[in-house]
Amino acid sequence: MFFRWDWLRPQLTAPIVPTLGPVHPEALSIGIFEDILRAAYTGDFLPYDKDQRWGGEKDEKVLRKDVVHQPEHTLIPTLTRRGRGVVKVFAYGSSDSVMGEAAEVAAKLASMHAVASARIVRPLGPETAHPRGTRIQLKDFTTGPCPAPEGPVRPVTAWPTAVQNTFAPFAETMAADGLAFLHTQMQADRCGPVLATVIGDRIVGAIGPMEVRADAIGRPQLMPQYFAVLPETRGQGLGRILWRAAMHWGQARGATYQLLQTEVGGPSDRLCRSEGLTSLGFSHMTHI
């Protein structure tokens, strides 16, 4: 094994794994970190990688020869060639000096691999004061029922054809939230159902795809979704209805939990906080 768990475990203030993102705290193990090193050689998706559902090849890979693993801190750099390319250095450790070393590693590797961007990803614990970036939240389906909400929510394909045809312009409007990409996956029949809400025969909000897959320890997980409501229709509770419909869908199909990433202070963050989700910590990204 490359990693020493007695070194790494105390540094994991939030359950974030390079190339995989957030994982359930019970699935966080040295095995996952060893898996991402092996995947750097093979280029394959790990069986529990959430990106596997999109097909193709895994783009982000660990630069395993450049990993820094010490008792006080661990730096794990990754490389993505998509677009103009980006190097990320995941900085684990409580000392403030870890950020300076991570910045040096990120800048050096970005130059070496001729990519346009270098970033540091810093996991922070749930007790962090005045956090920025994204909050990692846990919805535990085993603690109580998730009833179906009252409201106009159905799978896109269950709406009349005229309503379905309004998804394309909605997706383009909300492209920044990933809905245009989601629409391409829907057209190629590469993903599970997408739930949508309607006002006046026009789709104004959606969440999906809805899929349940096993995590690294075999527990059924409701996979992350794209989620958006048109700005001009917000404030009517449509986002909450969509979210609750998604949670009902997942629980009814055997999911035991879902992990969500929300922008701190954003609409989805406020919604999840008001729904009583558990905060597992934060991920703060710094551009070099």
Splitting the chain (288 residues) into consecutive groups of 10 residues, what average pLDDT does each group show? 94 97 96 95 91 88 96 97 95 90 97 96 95 96 95 96 98 97 94 96 97 97 96 94 97 98 93 95 95
Predicted confidence at residue 1, as pLDDT, reads 77
Predicted confidence at residue 42, as pLDDT, reads 87
Could you give the count of Cα atoms lying within 13 Å of 67 in the half-sphere of its Cβ? 21
Predicted confidence at residue 56, as pLDDT, reads 81
Predicted confidence at residue 251, as pLDDT, reads 98
pTM of the model: 0.92
Predicted confidence at residue 43, as pLDDT, reads 84
Specify the 3-state DSSP secondary structure of 213: strand
CATH H superfamily, domain 143-255 = Gcn5-related N-acetyltransferase (GNAT) (3.40.630.30)
Predicted confidence at residue 215, as pLDDT, reads 97
Could you tell me the CA-to-CA distances from 242 to 90, 106, 187, 246 in Å, in that order? 33, 39, 21, 6
Predicted confidence at residue 41, as pLDDT, reads 87
Predicted confidence at residue 207, as pLDDT, reads 98
Which residues belong to CATH 3.40.630.30 in the chain? 143-255
Q: What single letter denotes the amino acid at residue 204?
A: V
Specify the 3-state DSSP secondary structure of 193: coil
The answer to whether residues 11 and 73 touch, using CB atoms and an 8 Å cutoff, is yes
Q: What single letter denotes the amino acid at residue 122?
A: R
